[in-house]
Copies of this chain bind each other. A is one copy, B any other.
Amino acid sequence: MTVLILTSEEDVTADMVVARLHETGTPVMRLDPADLPGKAVLSADFAHGDFDGHLSVNGHVLSMGGLRSVWVRRPGEPAAHASHPSPWLTAETRQALYGMLYSAATRWMNHPRNADQARLKPWQLRVAHLSGFAVPPTVFTTAPRVAQQFAREHGDVVVKSASGPPPGEPGLALPTTLIGPDADFSGVAAGPALLQRYIAKRADIRLTCVGTRLFAARKTAEPGQVDGRYGDTGHSWEPVPVPDRIGKSAHEYVRLAGLAYAAFDFAEDEDGIWWFLECNQSGQFGFVELETGQPVSEAVAQWLAQRGPDRRTPESRR
């Protein structure tokens, strides 16, 4: 039974997990969907009343019946490396590859259907609230007056992007930014703004969830620091215990969202409350493991190597 990892060629995080899988003798196939068709060959056969499929990469063949789990790490666009790439070839190749994988009775980290949903920030806040996390007051709006009212009601607020920085090269940094109630909100009419009450934090928290295992790390913040991703505070990530209530909420969140892996970001305020900021279903864990020594890649490898019934195939999805 083989673990299939969908990722691009250069991916040190995947390398860490592959090393763990090799240690335990678990067979692994690594595929960049960009290499299909070409380096990789696919056949999915619905010819005998049942289904079987095969993937072949560099002469190694993986049968869908021997598929243990799929890790959707950082896959390229299907057919992107084809000699004559086109949007249509990508669409056809996506159909063949993901249609075949969806048909297999396997476990996913994470199923693309649930991953796509989990990327929606407003929905994250809703699920976080339902899961019992503390969520800072937040508004998404295209109405300048609503944005201004929100800023007046809450005093200091931060503005940030919901979808991440704009694509393109060179990449544009778009840090979360503190603004006051007297800012000019007229531009909100041209594009939705995400405003959130500023949490004066004493630390950033990263909570990594792998199946049912939780790893919390904490990094002390500088007074007044807004976006921990930019600039060096001189502090490093340190392991911290997961409070019971937080653990319960995290398990509830991933259950509602249908995720096997999730990376939660919190701001810890002066009272020690962890405020939910976001949940990234494909968040990096390399830097946490490096600084804290927490065995996240081992946990990922163990989850992928597990045998067990699939809970999300067509047969049993409801």
| Contact surface of A with B, Cβ cutoff 8 Å | 36-37, 40-51, 53, 79, 82-84, 86-89, 91-96, 98-100, 102-103, 113-114, 116-117, 120-127, 129-130, 135, 137-143, 146, 150, 153-154, 161-164, 166-167, 189-192, 194, 255-258, 314-315, 317-318
Contact = CB atoms under 8 A, between A and B. Distances in A.
A138 B46 contact: yes
Contact of A46 (B47, B125, B143, B314): B125
Contacts of A41: 142-143
Contacts of A93: 191-192
10 contacts: A37-B189, A40-B142, A41-B142, A43-B139, A47-B138, A47-B139, A96-B192, A103-B125, A113-B114, A130-B314
A142 B150 CA distance: 55
Identical copies of this chain, number: 2
A46 B137 contact: yes
A217 to B, nearest CB: 26
A92 B142 CA distance: 11
A43 B44 CA distance: 45
